[in-house]
Amino acid sequence: MHVIILGSGISGSILACILRARGLQVTLLEKHQHPRFAIGESTVPQTSTMLRILALKHGVPELEDLASFSRWSRISRSSGVKRNFGYVYHETDRPARLDNALQSVIPDLPHGPECHWFRQDVDQHLYHLALRYGARAFNRAQVESVDIDDRGVTIQTQCGREIHGDYVVDCAGFHSPLARLFGLRHAVPQTETHSRTIFNHFLNVRPFDHVLSSQGTLPRLWFQGTVHHLFDGGWFWVIPFNNAPSSSNPLCSVGLCLDNRVHPAGDLDPEQEFNAFVERFPSVREHLQGAVPTRDWVSVPRMQYTSRTLVGDRFCLVGSSASFLDPLFSRGLSNTMETLDLVADHLVRATEKGAGPETVTAEAFAPVESFQQQALQLNDRLIELTYRSFRSFPLWNAVFRLWLVGATLGVIRLSRHVNRFQESSDKTFLDVMAPDLPSPGWICPDLVEYRQLFEDCRRWILQAHDGEIPDQEAFSQVLQRVEASGLAPDAFDLADPDLRCPTDYGLGTFLRVIRWGKKRAPQCVRERYFDFGPAAFLRAAVANRGVGKALRVQI
């Protein structure tokens, strides 16, 4: 089978590598050329674990280089390290307080922490990898037309090139050629989330630890994580690329996301509006004092877009070609990796069946459509709830704990698949996209117990947002419900209302979590997530020992 992939960014190039490794013919068509600017710079453990699964399952070991800072930093010095999610809640005209700060630590073990990807280098690296795997590529190949019939796909480019193939996968992002040519976009995005963004890359962004020290109270430096400055109706992200001894990139990604219903757009230009919001919050102003923008400002009036159809006969849209929500929680890349796995499986099966017309129909690829649409709906509920919670710190604190439970279980679920494979060498354990997942594409997709916990807590948070109950009462109800569910590892102590960081995630914490999972967790968690031995984890931890010391910086 010959697959044409539109877009040679991170998703298109990864899919090209996978398909070439599985024996398919691949042509990449890129509107621009590398290196090129791209957003989506902060990885999360679910994204990295999915990269490990893709590497092991499809025979592309180089993808594991992207799955931790420890490995990626040996290839590129332009990306930063991510050792925590840092959240600081702000009130207008008041300095930030550590009492209103939360931190979720990312483990250094067993594989190393996450990354702040400098995307133009990451994407170019993957593009070159796709070429090494044997993909054919054409740059500056703007798609003019796409014709599909029973015989295959014919694509004409503006420069007069004609490409013939059996199937086309659109990974081109917002400017998806298939969405444009086939009229697939909804005129009004079908999401509850309604946010916009302004962003740039900056020089001279100082560590936030110089403004609000975390030492002695929180286990990680703000500087070595993604800092989220939260306030009623919006948030800033701060993603440094120069926060580890091996990092040599002086840039820092900074963006502002705003709920349109709380902060509708006015007459200011993007830079003026960005600076106006910075001025509202003294600690943000101090954090960004002296920062110098390096690019043209990017302003997106509404980030959300959706598509009425994602698959058809001989085509599908993947990742940000299909839809986009909001960068909050960095879920987009994780869902994209899951979708790539699903698409690759379907294309390989179609090839094994002879790639006849009946193997590449919309019906045959319906699971790709279903997964992406359901993932959009479920993540939309989480992100919209989070924006509503920004009204007060107690409500945000409730959502933080609720998200943390699901995110922790979601990573344990994927890690269990990797561990079982490493114990048995049985690749069926790497088939994580089961068709019967109750909540596909979500932070914890296979536990109905977590879905019920989320819905119960969501109700209290929305009641508080609407003024029906006090914010503190909603926070207390969520804490009690999380504790009663038993779904959070008891080492986290999430029932403590004064908790600011659940754990430092040392080796001892990992062992306590494993003991909890095997002995005290609810039966659904014990049976699904902890049916493996610790040998694979311990081997990886020993191989990566000392990583924390190697990442220490002076600020």
SS3 119: helix
What integer best gives the mean pLDDT of the chain? 95
pLDDT bracket for residue 217 (50, 70, 90): confident
Residue 368 has pLDDT above 90, yes or no: yes
- Taking only the tens place, the pLDDT of each residue in 370-414 is 999 999 999 999 999 999 999 999 999 999 999 999 999 999 999
Q: What are phi and psi of 287, to 5 degrees?
A: -60, -40
The arithmetic mean of pLDDT across residues 413-442, rounded, is 93
Position 355 confidence tier, pLDDT thresholds 50, 70, 90: confident
- The reply to whether CATH 3.30.9.100 applies to domain 195-300 is yes
**Which segments of the chain belong to CATH 3.30.9.100?**
195-300
- Dump pLDDT digits (tens) for 480-508: 999 999 999 999 999 999 999 988 887 78
pLDDT per residue as tens digits for the range 144-176 = 999 999 999 999 999 999 999 999 999 999 999
Taking residues 235-253, what's their average pLDDT?
96
Query: Are 117 and 9 in contact, with CB atoms under 8 Å apart?
Result: no
What is the share, in percent, of the chain residues with pLDDT greater than 90?
Answer: 89
Pairing state between β 101-105 and 84-89: antiparallel
Q: What is the pLDDT of residues 57-86, one digit of tens each?
A: 999 999 999 999 999 999 999 999 999 999
Mean pLDDT value across residues 185-192: 98
Exposure string over 210-230, b if 16+ CB within 10 A, otherwise e: ebbebeeebbbbbbbbbbbbb
At residue 2, the pLDDT reads 98
Residue 214 has pLDDT above 80, yes or no: no
Q: Which of 37-46, 173-182, 435-444, 501-510 has the lowest mean pLDDT?
A: 501-510
Count CB neighbours of 301 within 10 A: 8
**Rounded Cα distance, 16 and 25, in Å:** 9
Residue 112: which pLDDT band, with cuts at 50, 70 and 90? confident
Share of the chain above pLDDT 70, in %: 99
Q: Determine the average pLDDT of the residues in 464-476.
A: 98
Tens digits of per-residue pLDDT, 298-309? 999 999 999 999
Instruction: Give me the DSSP letters along 473-520.
Output: HHHHHHHHHHHHHT-S-GGG-TT-TT-S-S----HHHHHHHHHIIIII
Whether the per-residue pLDDT at 536 is higher than 80: the answer is no
pTM: 0.97
Quickly tell me which residue has 């003024």 as its tokens: 467
Residue 544, SS3 per DSSP: coil
Numbered ranges of CATH 3.50.50.60 in the chain: 1-76+117-190+305-390
Q: What is the mean pLDDT of residues 465-477?
A: 98
So what's the pLDDT on residue 505? Answer: 83
The phi, psi pair for 269, rounded to 5°, reads -75, 165
pLDDT > 80? residue 97: yes
Rounded distance between C-alpha atoms, residue 415 and residue 424, angstroms: 14
pLDDT of residue 552: 82
Average pLDDT (438-463) is 96
Would you call the peptide bond into 35 cis, given omega within 30 degrees of 0 as the criterion?
Answer: yes
Buried b / exposed e across 116-154, counting CB within 10 Å, b at 16+?
bbbbebbbbbbbebbbebebbbeeebebeebebeeebbb
Q: Average pLDDT of 182-206?
A: 98
Taking alpha carbons only, the member of 395, 399, 397, 396 closest to residue 469 is 395
Give the pLDDT confidence score for residue 535 in this predicted structure: 78
- Give the closest residue to 177 by CA, choosing from 342, 307, 368: 307
Distance CA 323, CA 257 (A): 18
What does the pLDDT read at residue 143? 97
User: Can you tell me the distance from the alpha carbon of 369 to that of 363, in angstroms, rounded to the nearest whole number?
Assistant: 10
424 within 8 A of 264, measured Cβ to Cβ:
no
- Say if residue 247's pLDDT is above 90: yes
E runs forming strands in 314-359? 315-317
Which CATH class for the 1-76+117-190+305-390 domain? Answer: alpha beta
For residue 539, pLDDT beyond 80: no
Q: For residue 551, what pLDDT is reported?
A: 84
- 516 DSSP assignment: I
Helix 45-58 crosses helix 393-424 at what angle (to 10 degrees)?
Answer: 20
Predicted local confidence at residue 109, as pLDDT: 83
Q: So what's the pLDDT on residue 544?
A: 74
How far is 315 from 402, CA to CA, in rounded Å? 37
DSSP letter at 305?
B
Q: Is 97 exposed, middle or buried (0-12, 13-18, 19+ CB in 10 A)?
A: middle
Whole-angstrom Cα distance, residue 319 to residue 69?
23
Per-residue pLDDT at 315 exceeds 80? yes
